[in-house]
Amino acid sequence: MIFLMDLQMMLLDVLYSILRATVQLVFKPRSKPVDGELVLITGAGGALGRLFALEFIKKGAEVVLWDVNASGNEQTAKLVREEGGTAHPYTVDVTNREEVYRAADLVRKDLGRDVTILVNNAGVVAGERMLDCPDEMLERTMKVNCHALFWTVKAFLPQMKTQNHGHIVTVASVLGLFSTACVEDYCASKFAAVGFHESLAHELAAEEIEGIKTTLVCPYIVDTGMFEGCRIRDEAELFLSPLDPLYCVEEAMNAILIDQPMVCIPRITYLAYICRALLPWESNVITYRFTGSDKCMYPFVDAMKKRTTNGLSQLT
């Protein structure tokens, strides 16, 4: 009897959550204020990290910038300050857990406060076919795109729990929801990032910690040069072309500010995600071939190989 009552309540809650999500598609929830929040962004020296920093300071937040590239990171800090924001750049290799923990302690010591919003944005790709790719490059992709998530969250989540206040953002990829050929390292790392984020979100929900929010960001290929040369069928690109970086970050920010648990950018990629789950494997293969998604990374891998070859020839 108790089971049947619990089942009934569960079904009603599921129906309510579906209706609520449907309504929110039309009437978006009010954005939460982030003025005064301390936002830490990894990969802050790159295109997306820089835009995240500029968008957060527009909302009145203070930003901590982490990147292994000191010059790029300082450039982001300079742009933030020129816009009237406050930036604190730190050169940090997020693949080194001890360095992450030391840097986290240093941030708390320097600023006298805790990070309240963590944006795990750092990401890399090897850009070579698996059998041609050095093991060290494959490991690097996993360390940056996946392992670093553990170190940064372990560094800042305890303080968020103490305050029952915070927000953890994971910038993954649609290639963490469905895959394609020749980027095994990237797809594996982003699938891992999605799994990590969802498990963490479930853990916070199971512990009934309502003050810490999570947002999983899964963009399509962003036009930052990271996947330069990647192409799908011309007709398909009318509906699914590489994303403008600013558009991508603005859509992610919209999701963060309304505490949306997950956002795929653009929305059409939700369809591919659903098809992967519901359709037979052969059906997805046929669809990939039709859109040119099955070999879309071939030009990218070839271009990376040429750049590497030219670089080596210039050094010899």
Supply the CATH number for residue 47's domain: 3.40.50.720
What sign results for the dihedral spanned by CA atoms 195, 200, 205, 206?
Answer: positive
Residue 49 counted as domain residue: yes
Q: Are residues 34 and 55 in contact, defined by beta-carbon separation less than 8 angstroms?
A: no
Residue 20 counted as domain residue: no
- For 44-107, what is the HEC assignment? CCCHHHHHHHHHHHHCCCEEEEEECCHHHHHHHHHHHHHCCCCEEEEECCCCCHHHHHHHHHHH
- Dump pLDDT digits (tens) for 246-292: 999 999 999 999 999 999 999 999 998 898 889 899 998 999 999 99
Residue 283 counted as domain residue: yes
Residue 21 counted as domain residue: no
Overall size of the chain counted in residues: 316
Residue 276 counted as domain residue: yes
**What's the rounded Cα separation, in Å, for the pair 254 and 19?**
20
- Dump pLDDT digits (tens) for 267-279: 999 998 898 889 8
SS3 assignment, position 36 = coil
Those residues of the chain that have pLDDT short of 50 are 311-316
Q: Are residues 43 and 123 in contact, defined by beta-carbon separation less than 8 angstroms?
A: yes
Q: What are 101's two structure tokens?
A: 């923990």
| pLDDT for position 58 | 97
Domain housing 279: 29-315
Q: Total structural domains in the chain?
A: 1
Residue 1 counted as domain residue: no
SS3 assignment, position 299 = helix
| pLDDT for position 15 | 83
SS3 assignment, position 208 = coil
| pLDDT for position 309 | 58
Residue 237 counted as domain residue: yes
Residue 112 counted as domain residue: yes
* Residues taking part in catalysis: 186
| pLDDT for position 313 | 38
